[in-house]
Amino acid sequence: MRRYPGLWWSLFRLSWSTHRWLTVSTLSVLLLSVVATGACALALRAAVNAMVAGEGFAAVTAAVPAVAAYAALHVLQDATATCRNAVTNRVARLEVEPGVHREVAALPGIEHLERTDYLDRLKAVRDGGTQLVGSMWRVVLTFTSVMKLLVAAGLLGSISPCLLAFVTAAAVPAVCQLKGQRLLNDSQVATMEAVRLEASLAELAVDAGAAPQIRVSGAAPGLGARREAAWAEAHRVRLRARLAASALRLGGWTVFLAALLAGIVLVVGRSASGEASVGDVVLAVTVATSLGQTVQVTVNSTVATTTAGSVIEPYLWLRRYGERARECPPAGGAEVPEALREGIRLQGVTFRYGGSDHEALHGVSCLLPAGAVVAVVGENGSGKSTLVKLLTMLYRPDSGTVLVDGRPLDRLDPEEWRARISAVPQQFGRYPLTVSESVGMGDLAGMADRERITESLRAANADELVDSLPEGLETRLGRELSGVELSEGQWQRLAMARAAMRRSPLLLVLDEPTASIDAVTERAILDRRMTHARAAGRDTGGITVVVSHRLSAVSRADLVLVLAHGRLVEAGPHAELVDRGGPYARMYAAQANAYRDERCP
């Protein structure tokens, strides 16, 4: 909570600088409502006292501003909501939410996308701009409500100082409401994972890709039961919190209304004894009525501000996380080389994912020679993709060093390094764009270069695929916008073409690049890519790293790295490793035997 005022002040300055007239209008309407509250009560007391005294003209003269102030209160109430909603939506939609999306997109790593606790926070803040800006305006609204309470206290105190004691009772429902809201917030945090599980299972039930296996396996009832159990657990915890919060609210308002009633009885008694006028009674009733409304607004604003903590905390976390993740390299940081001479050297590299109890990589040391095609092989979970993530600076090693021609990789600027590399990740993108846009994204500078895009498609053996599409390069892809839906293998070919957009990268990573493609096509694509990589490597020393389960596809690599349980267990050319008879030779023989068994049953 101590960091909230700084955030609210920055949001107010953003509102002031980008939408000044709306901000000024909202503040003006709020201040006018404070003035109108006091003016209405004072004018009404004057009118009643004049009427009781038989002064008709004075009564009418006082009644006119009373009516005007009363009407203004209702008009200003609507105007306040209109102005506040307008400025909140504009600042949220046009400034804050785009800023959040830019912040997330600019994060150099992907840890925030692979850890569930981070994903929960990102989900909360992703579209929470309205809540963020709204929390700032609720603070302003709370201040104006407090001003109205002070005006009410002054008016009641002018009748009798004893009435000030009853005004303090306004704090009781506020405190009870806040405690109740804290219970609700805690219940939401406690059930966030269950709610996310329920939502994921609900989406899975209507997912076209998952539907065939769910239907064939008969898993639908089981998934439905798990979804219902997750929802029931979340509902049980949240219902208990809602009941407790309701009991607290009921108790708080009971105390306040009892104090208010006692105050009115006191004023009526003073009027009966001649110590107060009839106008004072009317003023007390009027102020008491508005006091209840003001307390309700104050409580609602305070509670809403507290509720916004579910977005404010993730937002503040995102800013801190982004600042840490984008720390500049130390003074004298290394520059990305124009070409590689030695290559990329790993020295004792160890890495563990957050929340994991074992190391994904442990003490890996090797040299990826400049201009070489390097294959990385191993069983599932051996650390292959983790190694790729470290090379592309999606993560940093926990210990050890990665050197690029002797320069520490963690001292290179991530954006500059990634501008000189290209990759086909294991989880490649399926973008609902046209074919040319989807491929051109591989190098934004060449997105409008049709010849370059066509060459990239040819390099990925995807030119015939494009020729078969109804509008060629301008065919829109993906069912999201009524485009053409491709098969998994076709999407993967486009991913390969996207990676080919950068002609001479210092590092080209192909992580299971042909997992969804048949063996014959795979061999043709990889042979073409390796030939191109070796040609480019002679000029820039560029390194191609191929990660694959199919060992036959990487037999032409210059160097094969064999990983097992996060450790480098073998390294060398294909023929040498086969002759050595170690883990690689055993894996290669097992795959070859399996292939022969399939061909000759």
DSSP letter (8 states) at residue 484: B
The answer to whether residues 90 and 228 belong to one domain is yes
47-72 residue pLDDT tens = 777 877 777 777 778 778 878 887 88
Residue 531, pLDDT score:
74
The answer to whether residues 382 and 438 belong to one domain is no
**Domain stop point among 485, 503, 521:** 503
Count of domains forming the chain: 3
Residue 570, pLDDT score:
93
Domain-embedded: residue 177: yes
Which of 4-8, 22-26, 55-59, 508-512 is modeled with the greatest confidence? 22-26
The answer to whether residues 61 and 180 belong to one domain is yes
Residue 345, pLDDT score:
95
Residue 374, pLDDT score:
93
User: pLDDT higher for 481 or 411?
Assistant: 411
CA distances from 588 to 199, 280, 402 (A): 43, 98, 29
The answer to whether residues 66 and 210 belong to one domain is yes
User: pLDDT higher for 421 or 101?
Assistant: 421
The answer to whether residues 239 and 290 belong to one domain is yes
Domain-embedded: residue 482: yes
User: pLDDT higher for 1 or 82?
Assistant: 82
The answer to whether residues 536 and 598 belong to one domain is yes
The answer to whether residues 135 and 46 belong to one domain is yes
DSSP letter (8 states) at residue 332: T
Other beta carbons within 10 angstroms of residue 468's beta carbon come to: 11
Evaluate if residue 3 carries a pLDDT over 60.
yes
pTM of the model: 0.67
> Kind and range of the H or E element at 400?
strand 399-404
Task: Determine contact, residues 111/395, Cβ cutoff 8 Å.
Answer: yes
**Domain stop point among 325, 347, 365:** 325
Domain-embedded: residue 330: no
Evaluate if residue 173 carries a pLDDT over 60.
yes
Task: Determine contact, residues 526/326, Cβ cutoff 8 Å.
Answer: no
The answer to whether residues 163 and 257 belong to one domain is yes
Report the alpha-carbon distance of residue 391 to residue 394 in Å, rounded: 8
**In the Cβ-directed half-sphere of 286, how many Cα atoms lie within 13 Å?**
23
Using a pLDDT cut of 90, give the percent of the chain over it. 19
Here the CATH number for the domain that contains residue 153 is: 1.20.1560.10
Residue 342, pLDDT score:
92
Report the alpha-carbon distance of residue 108 to residue 322 in Å, rounded: 9
Domain-embedded: residue 22: yes
Residue 515, pLDDT score:
62
Q: Which of 23-37, 121-135, 339-353 has the lowest mean pLDDT?
A: 121-135
343-361 residue pLDDT tens = 999 999 999 987 778 899 9
Pairing label, strands 507-511, 543-547: parallel
The answer to whether residues 487 and 548 belong to one domain is no
Evaluate if residue 330 carries a pLDDT over 60.
no
DSSP bridge pairs for 424 = 510
Report the alpha-carbon distance of residue 545 to residue 426 in Å, rounded: 13
What is the average per-residue pLDDT within 136-163? 83
363-408 residue pLDDT tens = 999 999 998 999 999 888 889 989 999 999 888 899 999 999 999 9
Computed from CA positions of residues 398, 404, 407, 413, in that sequence, does the dihedral angle turn out positive or negative?
negative
316, amino acid identity: L
Evaluate if residue 322 carries a pLDDT over 80.
no
User: pLDDT higher for 524 or 24?
Assistant: 24
Task: Determine contact, residues 477/431, Cβ cutoff 8 Å.
Answer: yes
407-444 residue pLDDT tens = 999 888 888 888 899 888 888 888 888 889 989 988 88
Beta-carbon contacts of residue 285 (< 8 Å; ≥ 6 apart): 264
The answer to whether residues 413 and 488 belong to one domain is no
CA distances from 571 to 56, 339, 392, 566 (A): 106, 24, 21, 14
Here the CATH number for the domain that contains residue 447 is: 3.40.50.300
Computed over every residue of the chain, the mean pLDDT equals: 83
Q: Which of 327-331, 351-355, 461-465, 483-487 has the lowest mean pLDDT?
A: 327-331
Q: Transcribe 406-456 into DSSP letters.
A: TEEGGGS-HHHHHTTEEEE-SS----SSBHHHHHHTTSGGGTT-HHHHHHH
The answer to whether residues 509 and 485 belong to one domain is no
Residue 596, pLDDT score:
55
What is the average per-residue pLDDT within 524-537? 72
**Domain stop point among 466, 488, 503:** 503
Domain that holds residue 318: 4-325
Residue 354, pLDDT score:
79
178-212 residue pLDDT tens = 788 888 878 887 887 888 788 888 887 777 667 77
550-579 residue pLDDT tens = 777 778 888 999 999 999 999 999 999 999
**In the Cβ-directed half-sphere of 45, how many Cα atoms lie within 13 Å?**
19
Domain-embedded: residue 315: yes
Domain-embedded: residue 233: yes
Domain-embedded: residue 10: yes
The answer to whether residues 255 and 383 belong to one domain is no
Evaluate if residue 601 carries a pLDDT over 60.
no
At residue 98 the predicted structure's pLDDT band, cuts being 50, 70 and 90, is confident
At residue 332 the predicted structure's pLDDT band, cuts being 50, 70 and 90, is very low
What is the average per-residue pLDDT within 482-487? 82
Report the alpha-carbon distance of residue 267 to residue 163 in Å, rounded: 9
